[in-house]
Structure 1
Amino acid sequence: MSSVPRLDLGQDVVALTESLCNIPSVSLAEGPLADALEAALRALPHLSVTRDGDAVVARTELGRAERVVLAGHLDTVPLTDPPNLPVRREGGYLVGRGTTDMKGGVAVQLCLAATLPQPNRDITFVFYDAEEISDEHNGLARLARQHPELLAADFAVLLEPTDDAVEGGCNGNVTALVHTRGRAAHSARPWMGHNAIHDLADVLARIERGQLPDAEVDGLVYRQSLNAVGISGGIAHNVIPDHAVVTVNLRFAPRWDADRAVSYLVDDVFAGLEVEIIDRSAGARPGLQRPAAADFVRALGLPVRAKQGWTDVARFSALGVPAVNFGPGESQFAHADDERCQIAQIVAAQEALTGWLA
């Protein structure tokens, strides 16, 4: 049986980021890193620790008036060939898999857990698995289903990379298949059939007409978009196709729930057409008017903008917990072969959150 990797929580936050990255944790292979985190956190007497699969939750129990969640995922996308590990320091950056997405943020969480035994709010530290792959594996979703009490809080911060800003809430997301049906025939006698691919012209025109304007929610402006992201149809060069499909993706502001977004596609944009919904995720309102959130923004003094993509803050929103994205790293480097994170951003994130919670 292999030994558990050892994490030294007494390291500075940059060295700890290096240590975390150098324990590979590609999605569904986070076990060794989760073991190391669990062992390190259980050694801190001011925390109660719960393990669920490869997710680890550590909580202070000080009876404070407010509780906040600091959350981050342990997994990374696959390594390159040759592997972009171990991490190296280069020109003010840490370079290697996981530095930006998102072990810099996880290191900040761990440093706070080790250095703040008496925070001014109770803190729940959540380290979860399988964020980078399909939703069925997501460790935060599993915790929300099976142990929602562990995620109960007044406010949550997801430490994804945010480019030196606070990103409030997130857009929702619906993916649909729009089918057109025709009648097959030989391509030399097209008048004997009906070309389903030609009918896609109407679908594409509807997408253009169905674009939504930007929308303001809780003082932040979210960009909305409707796009064709895939087209398929036809079986051979000499056959008039009897079936074609456009894959459509809608990104919508969190003023709507997922049901309203689906209704917009089915009843408005593609009314009368065959529409199959294959994925739907609600967005998250930023909730910046809540006292804990407003204090967070004041304490950090950083720009606040809307999160234009979808992130796991939506899972907190579904539990009634307002949430923002804030963490070290530049999103342009996430998943890149030369993934990297500015050392100064990792240090600044730790200092900002310490100032808020100390």
Structure 2
Amino acid sequence: MTSSDSLPLDPSAGAVALTRQLCDIPSVSGDERAVADAVEAVLRNQAPHLRIVRDGDTIIARTELGRARRVAIAGHLDTVPVNENLPVQDRPDPETGAETIWGRGTVDMKAGVAAQLLLAVELDDPAVDVTWVWYDHEEVASHLSGLGRAMRNHPALFAADFAILGEPSNGTIEGGCNGTLRAHVTMHGKRAHSARGWMGVNAIHRAAPLLQRLAAYEAERIVVDGLEYREGINAVRIDGGVAGNVIPDRCTIEVNYRFAPSRSGEEAADFVREFFADADEVEIVDLALGARPGLDDPFARGFVEAVGVQPKAKFGWTDVSRFSALGIPAVNFGPGDPLLAHADEERVPVEQIEFTVSALRSWLTGGRAAGSS
């Protein structure tokens, strides 16, 4: 085995130090190879109790102890682009004064990944079998997901009774997730010289009522399995125009619709098409289903009781949806405020990292995990 001193990651230093180490390895979506190599090196050198399979830059590591129940615990390795917020820094939180780690990826989601990697190495005799997963390409279009690819390539490796995603949840449990849909909504016009604008039809002007409708819309709050989800539909990008002296003949609004997990993908698409019924074109370009909370499952309830926090709804889309689609109840549980994910001031409290490790360790080695039924 290789000494931990020669590896870029050292779980023996603790989850807080491991978070710093993970953040400082380049890992923007599409550039996960170095961090995936580092995670794999730790597992192969320090976790002989795990069976390791690599699929691209996704790593699956499983205990095979013959336990009655199995839990999957997963986290993504990639981040959104850096904006002068690496390497990480240790600074107090400006609001609470708490000890925090600042930098890209601290919240989304290297602190969660660090907790998982430390426990994967440490726990060679958990009360349940565990499938640990670290995957690539989460922060981009859903069809690129390393988790989705690995599930297609190795479906048998993902059989489980319950799943936990280490997505930031402020150290609480967030059940399920909203679905997400992106659509291109287009209005057509007719080109003309702008000096004689009356000879054309301005597509950008024709799109104005659509933007006004979006601005005025009050999205629903929908209760699903006891948790309240907030929907939202927003313009996120607009494209139109030919030149500074030409009446534009096309204007496209990119719309993002976040919908409650009680809606099917077809229902979400129908809602968007109806919302823009007067548009010339509505093209659905990306769709990922939400996930119901699944907290009625006894194994999930045992986890909630063990952690001792009140579950909340997850408003953003996460990969709990992929586990839910396999019939596996799944929740989000990890350190960091999701409101700070992707922000320039992204930061995670040290206390939340330590709580996450402690809660997972206690549950995975205690009677609740083994005895929940």
TM-score of the alignment, normalized to the shorter chain, above 0.5: yes
Give the Å deviation of 1:239.
Answer: 3.2
Comparing 52-61 with 145-154, which one deviates more in the overlay? 145-154
1:269 maps to which residue? 275
Amino acid at match of 1:158: L
Match of 1:198 among 184, 205, 223: 205
1:47 maps to which residue? 50
Amino acid at match of 1:20: L
Q: Check the 8 A contact 2:90/2:99 in 1, yes or no.
A: no
- Root-mean-square deviation (Å): 2.4
SS at match of 1:142: helix
Distance of aligned partners of 1:120 and 1:225 in 2 relative to their CA distance in 1, 3 Å threshold: same
Distance of aligned partners of 1:189 and 1:9 in 2 relative to their CA distance in 1, 3 Å threshold: closer
2:70 is the alignment partner of 1:64 = no
Amino acid at match of 2:306: A
Percent of residue pairs bearing the same amino acid type: 53
Q: Check the 8 A contact 1:88/1:96 in 2, yes or no.
A: no
Residues 77-226 of structure 1: pairs in structure 2 closer than 5 A: 77-81=80-84, 84-85=86-87, 87-88=89-90, 92-207=99-214, 211-226=218-233
1:208-259 deviation per Cα after TM superposition (whole angstroms, max 9, x unaligned)? 6765421111111111112223333332444333222222221110111212
Q: Check the 8 A contact 1:95/1:338 in 2, yes or no.
A: yes
Q: Check the 8 A contact 1:166/1:325 in 2, yes or no.
A: yes
Return the TM-score normalized by structure 2: 0.86
Give the Å deviation of 1:169.
Answer: 0.9
SS at match of 1:229: strand
Amino acid at match of 1:64: R
Q: Check the 8 A contact 1:333/1:339 in 2, yes or no.
A: yes
Amino acid at match of 2:140: I
Amino acid at match of 1:341: V
2:308 is the alignment partner of 1:301 = yes
Distance of aligned partners of 1:15 and 1:182 in 2 relative to their CA distance in 1, 3 Å threshold: closer
Q: Check the 8 A contact 1:4/1:36 in 2, yes or no.
A: no
1:36-64 deviation per Cα after TM superposition (whole angstroms, max 9, x unaligned)? 32232223232111111121111111222
2:242 is the alignment partner of 1:235 = yes
1:73 maps to which residue? 76
SS at match of 2:163: strand
Which is richer in helix?
Answer: 2
Give the Å deviation of 1:26.
Answer: 3.0
SS at match of 2:203: coil
SS at match of 2:283: strand
Q: Check the 8 A contact 1:329/1:345 in 2, yes or no.
A: yes
Comparing 23-32 with 291-300, which one deviates more in the overlay? 23-32
Give the Å deviation of 1:158.
Answer: 0.7
Give the Å deviation of 1:325.
Answer: 0.9
Give the Å deviation of 1:174.
Answer: 1.2
Distance of aligned partners of 1:189 and 1:158 in 2 relative to their CA distance in 1, 3 Å threshold: same
Output the CA distance in 1 between the equivalents of 2:361 and 2:305: 14
Comparing 213-222 with 85-94, which one deviates more in the overlay? 85-94
Output the CA distance in 1 between the equivalents of 2:41 and 2:210: 55
**Structure 2 residues without counterparts, runs of 5 or longer:** 93-97, 366-373
Comparing 38-47 with 310-319, which one deviates more in the overlay? 38-47
How many aligned residue pairs are there? Answer: 354
Q: Check the 8 A contact 1:21/1:87 in 2, yes or no.
A: no
1:7 maps to which residue? 9
Amino acid at match of 2:256: N
1:63-116 deviation per Cα after TM superposition (whole angstroms, max 9, x unaligned)? 2222111111122334444x6215546561123333222221112112222232
Distance of aligned partners of 1:194 and 1:255 in 2 relative to their CA distance in 1, 3 Å threshold: same
SS at match of 1:84: coil
1:24 maps to which residue? 26
